[in-house]
A and B are shown apart, each in its own frame.
Chain A
Amino acid sequence: MHNAYSDALDTVLRDCCTPAAVRAVERGDDHQPLWQALQDSGFADCLLPEDAGGAGLPLDELAPVLFTLGRHAVPLPLGQTLFARALLHAAGLAVPPEPIALASFDSGADTAPVPGGAQAAWFLVQEDTRCVLLPRAQAQASATGVHADLAVSLPRPARDGLPAFTLPAGALRQTGACLHAAQLAGAMSHVFEMTLQYANDRQQFGRAIGKFQAIQHQISIMAEHVTAARMAAQIACAAGGWRPDPLRAAIGKLNASEAVTPVAAIAHAVHGAIGITEEYDLQLYTRRLHAWRLADGSETYWGRVVGELVCGLAGPGVVDTVRGWSTDAA
């Protein structure tokens, strides 16, 4: 999953978003240099129309960009910010230059975990059909208490006096689902490559552990799940413009989340004890896998959404239903 845009981003990230830089941001070091580099790359504006200084990217061309963010375990909410900017611009509101996280209060809960919120200067918050842009100073966001976590816990905000606009109910969560599906596929692809490489390098019983059939089959299973997640990411990002299609975002996030448990488990099983150390890079990616599985709805959340829809239909068979959601010509 790459195109000219993601190749350019990859070059930027190789330079400025090294594992050491990721660790530094997770430790709480100043993230401004990294954000400035990302800001300078222009990707935060890539969904904006060209006459607003953006690239007017459609979602399917954005997919490899999001995938690349996941591949590098980028510790700042660039994916969220680029969608937030497009939404703010479409609503005719001013676009701030700092990182923005996305928060949805659609479940009746009084606090929401906000992925990527730890370094966000703003929260774009949706409740029912109403969106507000909440500055961090007013947000009362608190740390989750999880080591090196990039999420924060956000209480339901008072909305008075904030810049506001309307979106269809659930749209922000669908957007988050879409971007996390693609980022999951990217992170999983990197985890897979690390695992394959390790299996070829690590010697035990006088040969590479990848020569043992038990390991080979585990890695084959991993390849299957990662391939499915990559297809899920493409489905999540299949849409006419830059706004995700609600059902395809659901299907994509569900399947990408579904792959997390086997992929992370096999990666760690193959790596052995070194894989769970701080010094080895695998943890940078597998911690993301678990965080992003939860982010904007796990497979259980989206399973309920899809299942209620299917059970509420009058009667077409599942094959016709699934085909109706696909990108096939009518």
Chain B
Amino acid sequence: MTSLLSTFQLTALPPAAAAFRREVKAFLAEHLPELPPEKRARSWMGFNAGFSRALAGRGWVGITLPAQYGGAGLDPFSRFVLVEELLACGAPVSAHWIADRQSGPLILRYGSDEQKAFYLPRICKGEAFFCIGMSEPNSGSDLASVATRAVPEPDGGWRLNGRKIWTTNADRCHYMLALVRTSGNAEDRQRGLSQVIVDLSAPGVTVRPIHDMAGDAHFSEVSFEDVMLPAQALVGREGSGWEQVNAELAFERSGPERLYSSVVLLDTWIAALRRVPEARRDTVTIGRLVARLAVLRAMSLAVTARLAAGESPVVEAALVKDLGTEFEQSIPALAEAALGADPQLAADPGLYRTLAYVSQVAPSYSLRGGTREILRGMIARGLGLR
């Protein structure tokens, strides 16, 4: 019952992963575009296809995929290192992010040989960007209520109708991996759901970008009107979409991206503090944040070790994500208090803009990938309370 607590073991990165970090740092020194902090703060929401293809040139898109498909065949520890380095400097990684983290590993695990041979090399070359079609206008946290439906056609294909929403980068991606209903009806809940790959250039697909409160348009509403999918659009077994999606969420929730969303702001804040007189530095707040990060990083690494061992630590990942996003959200909250207390700090234009951006988008940290309430429900179930 409380075994959940004892699964977090302090884990050191193995030497090979640590050595890999030097390669990543050298690559970034050469290829990272020059960007102001408020742009770097967008990080895994920052889209730069050229940068993603440069990474792909090193085999680092689809980093965990086998070499036969063009991947680097590296373990989850190496992926941890790559992701950590990319996020620490605010690299614009959003173009290939989903394909590398989720779609590629999912196709490798559940896809047919034909699907693997088609999609995986394209992912690894940075030529196939993926988005995820889960949420719908009437289906948010209650994901099992998805109503987008793929109806079987006589030729074995599928006719797709419905709408997806909050789909990150749908307007710039090539494919969507969508959770849709292929059999049964709403009362069947999880049963009858499947995952299909939708070519977003197909007739009947309409993508409408949605602007957010920070002025960006990173997510979209996607409509499907009689979109014809070939038989091979189905990934895995018909009706197994729910379990496949949940396996995917262990990858989605456990990584360092759930700790580092506002790390560019923290670094920008500390750099500005170094320019004000020592007596005016709120060192207690900075020290608490940095020490907190040390523990959260160790927890994330402990989950990575479970992934590397071939396990699916779904509840552990939920626990780290809930703590991690709370930390990510505390940074803008504390920085806002600090800037409002010291005009000299607020006069730093880069810090001011970075803080404003992060404060505005920070609520999304605990929405994307599963809300706080969903995660806490999962933890309670893991503890035997539900």
Tell me the interface secondary structure of chain A in the complex.
helix
| Cβ contacts under 8 Å, A311 to chain B | 270, 273-274, 278, 281, 283, 286
Given contacts A220-B380, A223-B319, A311-B274, contact A231 B287 (CB under 8 A): no
Do the beta carbons of B385 and A254 come within 8 Å of each other?
no
| Cβ contacts under 8 Å, A255 to chain B | 291-292, 294-295
Chain B contacts with A in 343-386, Cβ cutoff 8 A: 373, 375-377, 379-380, 383-386
Is A61 among interface residues, defined by CB-CB distance under 8 A?
A: no
Chain B contacts with A in 292-318, Cβ cutoff 8 A: 292-299, 302
Do the beta carbons of A220 and B323 come within 8 Å of each other?
no
30 contacts between A and B (CB under 8 A): A200-B385, A216-B376, A220-B322, A220-B377, A223-B4, A224-B322, A228-B299, A231-B8, A231-B10, A232-B295, A235-B294, A255-B294, A300-B284, A303-B283, A306-B288, A307-B283, A307-B284, A307-B287, A308-B283, A308-B287, A310-B283, A311-B286, A318-B267, A318-B270, A318-B290, A319-B84, A319-B263, A319-B293, A327-B10, A329-B15
9 cross-chain pairs, A with B, having the tightest CB-CB distances, nearest first = A307-B287, A307-B283, A306-B287, A216-B380, A303-B287, A319-B88, A220-B379, A234-B10, A303-B288
Interface string of B2-22 (1 = CB under 8 A from A): 101110111011110110000
Is B1 among interface residues, defined by CB-CB distance under 8 A?
A: yes
| Cβ contacts under 8 Å, A196 to chain B | 1-2, 383-385
| Cβ contacts under 8 Å, B2 to chain A | 189, 192-193, 196
Given contacts A227-B319, A230-B8, contact A319 B291 (CB under 8 A): no
Cβ of B309 to closest chain A Cβ, rounded Å: 18
Is B89 among interface residues, defined by CB-CB distance under 8 A?
A: yes
| Cβ contacts under 8 Å, B201 to chain A | none
Chain A contacts with B in 105-155, Cβ cutoff 8 A: none
Interface bracket on B: 35 or more
Is A226 among interface residues, defined by CB-CB distance under 8 A?
A: yes
Chain A contacts with B in 158-179, Cβ cutoff 8 A: none
CA distance A327 to B154 in the complex (A): 59
Between A223, A305, A309, the greatest number of chain B beta carbons within 10 A of the residue's beta carbon is seen for: A223
Is A101 among interface residues, defined by CB-CB distance under 8 A?
A: no
Do the beta carbons of A220 and B295 come within 8 Å of each other?
no
Given contacts A231-B10, A319-B84, A328-B18, contact A210 B385 (CB under 8 A): yes
| Cβ contacts under 8 Å, A320 to chain B | 88
Other A-B contacts than A217-B373, A227-B299, 19 sampled, CB-CB below 8 A, are: A199-B385, A219-B383, A220-B377, A227-B4, A227-B8, A234-B298, A238-B10, A251-B291, A254-B291, A258-B292, A303-B288, A304-B283, A307-B286, A307-B288, A310-B290, A318-B293, A319-B263, A322-B293, A327-B10
Is A21 among interface residues, defined by CB-CB distance under 8 A?
A: no
CA distance A172 to B291 in the complex (A): 20
| Cβ contacts under 8 Å, B273 to chain A | 311
Do the beta carbons of B88 and A317 come within 8 Å of each other?
yes
Interface bracket on A: 35 or more
CA distance A329 to B21 in the complex (A): 11
| Cβ contacts under 8 Å, A305 to chain B | 287
CA distance A44 to B226 in the complex (A): 76
Is A302 among interface residues, defined by CB-CB distance under 8 A?
A: yes
CA distance A318 to B284 in the complex (A): 15
Residue of B nearest to A224 (CB): B323
Is B260 among interface residues, defined by CB-CB distance under 8 A?
A: yes
Is A250 among interface residues, defined by CB-CB distance under 8 A?
A: yes
Do the beta carbons of A213 and B291 come within 8 Å of each other?
no
Cβ of B45 to closest chain A Cβ, rounded Å: 18
Chain B interface residues (CB < 8 Å from chain A): 1-2, 4-6, 8-10, 12-15, 17-18, 84, 87-89, 260, 263, 266-267, 270-271, 273-274, 278, 281-288, 290-299, 302, 319, 322-323, 373, 375-377, 379-380, 383-386
| Cβ contacts under 8 Å, A223 to chain B | 4-5, 319, 379, 383
Is A1 among interface residues, defined by CB-CB distance under 8 A?
A: yes
Given contacts A192-B2, A251-B294, A320-B88, contact A329 B260 (CB under 8 A): no
| Cβ contacts under 8 Å, B323 to chain A | 224, 227-228
Inter-chain contact total with CB atoms closer than 8 Å: 179
Do the beta carbons of B266 and A318 come within 8 Å of each other?
yes
| Cβ contacts under 8 Å, B260 to chain A | 319
| Cβ contacts under 8 Å, A303 to chain B | 283-288, 291
| Cβ contacts under 8 Å, A193 to chain B | 2
Do the beta carbons of A322 and B10 come within 8 Å of each other?
no
Cβ of A75 to closest chain B Cβ, rounded Å: 24
CA distance A182 to B322 in the complex (A): 23
Cβ of B320 to closest chain A Cβ, rounded Å: 9
CA distance A77 to B295 in the complex (A): 27
Which residue in B17, B302, B384 is a CB contact (below 8 Å) of A231? B302
| Cβ contacts under 8 Å, B380 to chain A | 216-217, 219-220
Is A326 among interface residues, defined by CB-CB distance under 8 A?
A: yes
Residue of B nearest to A237 (CB): B10
Do the beta carbons of B294 and A310 come within 8 Å of each other?
no
CA distance A238 to B301 in the complex (A): 15
| Cβ contacts under 8 Å, B15 to chain A | 329
Cβ of A325 to closest chain B Cβ, rounded Å: 6
Residue of A nearest to B16 (CB): A329
Is A299 among interface residues, defined by CB-CB distance under 8 A?
A: yes
Cβ of A81 to closest chain B Cβ, rounded Å: 26
CA distance A219 to B17 in the complex (A): 36
Which residue in A220, A308, A322, A330 is a CB contact (below 8 Å) of B297? A322
Which residue in A216, A228, A304, A317 is a CB contact (below 8 Å) of B263? A317
Do the beta carbons of A216 and B284 come within 8 Å of each other?
no
Cβ of A306 to closest chain B Cβ, rounded Å: 3
| Cβ contacts under 8 Å, A238 to chain B | 10
Between A215, A224, A258, A326, the greatest number of chain B beta carbons within 10 A of the residue's beta carbon is seen for: A224
